[in-house]
């Protein structure tokens, strides 16, 4: 494995936490380090999207009380 290239890749990520998470998986090749980084990034993005969705569900809009009134008025 190209140690210099491997280290350069990890530094170029610009995210110390991601770097540690990748190193924790002990990738044997640069390709494996890339695959791990892509998987971790996708996981992080899905967690962020889920958190945003939960925030939107928790905040009632101005229209919700109006919609409920219309629903029960029928």
Residues 11-38 pLDDT 10s: 898 989 999 999 999 998 889 999 999 9
- Whole-prediction pTM value? 0.63
Find the range with the poorest average confidence among 1-5, 27-31, 46-50, 67-71.
Answer: 67-71
- Domain limits of the chain? 3-73
DSSP per residue over the chain, as a string?
A: --HHHHHHHHHHT--HHHHHHHHHT--SSHHHHHHHHHHHHHHHHHHHHHHHHHHHHHS--THHHHHHHHHHH-
């Amino acid at each position: 494995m190209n140690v210099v290239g491997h280290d350069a890749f990890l530094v170029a990520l610009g995210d110390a936490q991601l770097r540690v998470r990748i190193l924790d998986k002990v990738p044997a090749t640069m390709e494996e380090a890339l695959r791990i980084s892509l998987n971790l990034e996708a996981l992080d993005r899905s967690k962020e999207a889920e958190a945003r969705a939960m925030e939107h569900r928790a905040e009632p809009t101005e229209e919700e009380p109006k919609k409920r009134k219309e629903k029960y008025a029928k």
